[in-house]
Chain A
């Protein structure tokens, strides 16, 4: 007598499916995932794990966390990151120390693989959530991530 139980189960599973979509239908006003993009440009936030571009956060004293270890440069599969560095005298200790001059990031070449961010031992770089990355000249896509005159956070390597 599996005939009637088959019918019962069939109807039951169909109704389960319909209840799921029915709930979606009722919540679609508030829960719609569609973004009406150019209208809500000012308020639109991408989700946290979105990979927009690599940025280097600076704190209010204009200090970043990059020690110039070049691990990100080595990790990058296609050379999107170039670090120009030299040894300078640390004003606090008076010793010579490796410091970055420019952390250059080519957004135009970047494949958003996130290997550099995983490689960074000091969490100096991270993903930004911006998505309006189109420009009229591709030279704009080459960016210097550390701000002019910025320094590394003191005591980071100790």
Chain B
């Protein structure tokens, strides 16, 4: 994009190269931080409105037009609240945990190709990096549960550990199924391949199965209902963030929604052609890529909200049975089918 190129040249003319690139990195980080703080806030609002509609309610519609300022007001309230903590908490880890969660969430965001140019960090191990980063977040949750010195928090954190370790396999394998078709882990190349039809169309039957498995495992990965054993309100109070208040609680809350956005963005990038428009209708206007990316991501987020407000919470043993007895064998089978399909050239390409 032209603006970024101008800023880039201006910075490099002003300073020595090393400082300039550092300043540029900081600028990009600040921009991403701002965008995703706002995105997180509006996802919270969207969740609340959608939840209300699923339950035949109206949801928050008083603060601003249709409640658009509701989460802003909530955030203001949370900022002004006192940060309480327990005496016996491990102070250092207790304070570190929320940043762990939010920083990993924000780091993962930098990889997504919103348009062809609008991608902060395009490394050749993109998908692998995303999976790695998204499972670091669980360390933050474990830290929070452990350092709170509270049995509910600890149980919640341990459940989160079990859940993430299990479902990480399914996320990885279902994405690997798709990587078989692209032959590359780099996100920009994955999008490039999809110019001949989105991968879910190219891979037809096995790709749909992979998408279903990815959605189930991805929902589990973000600790959302029906896999919200981590914070199961009725059993654990609030789970791992029981002892957190004010802005530290808000970090966990925001991270949950940004994680949801990340899971949906990965699905968009890998299955639905990221910023590519359907049938290439707006290929001449590259800026509309952001629009298509967000539309697809929001559709998948809506699907996850639909899950959340329909299905009851799983028990811990059901959770593990679902992963180890159903999703994993199916996934491996699917992987073999996909490999055979790619080998025999049965994929659909336009």
Task: Point out residues on A near B: beta carbons under 8 Å.
Answer: 7, 14, 17-18, 20-22, 24-25, 27-29, 31-34, 36
Contact = CB atoms under 8 A, between A and B. Distances in A.
A49 B54 CA distance: 26
A14 B326 CA distance: 15
Contacts of A32: 53, 56-58
B53 A28 contact: yes
B315 to A, nearest CB: 15
B309 interface: yes
Nearest to A20: B310
User: Which 6 A/B pairs are nearest by Cβ-Cβ distance?
Assistant: A28-B53, A34-B58, A21-B310, A17-B310, A34-B57, A25-B53
A1 to B, nearest CB: 14
Contacts of A20: 310
Interface residues on B, range: 10 to 19
B55 interface: yes
B289 to A, nearest CB: 29
B291 interface: no
Given A7-B326, A24-B53, A25-B53, A17 B58 contact: no
Contact of A25 (B54, B58, B307, B326): B54
Interface SS majority for chain A: helix
> Which of A27, A28, A33: most chain B CB closer than 10 A?
A28
B54 A17 contact: no
A28 B306 CA distance: 14
B310 A28 contact: no
A22 B307 CA distance: 10
B54 A28 contact: yes
A20 B311 CA distance: 11
A148 to B, nearest CB: 44
Given A7-B326, A18-B306, A24 B55 contact: yes
B52 interface: yes
A16 to B, nearest CB: 10
B311 A14 contact: yes
> Which of A7, A32, A33: most chain B CB closer than 10 A?
A32
Contacts of B56: 24, 27-28, 31-34
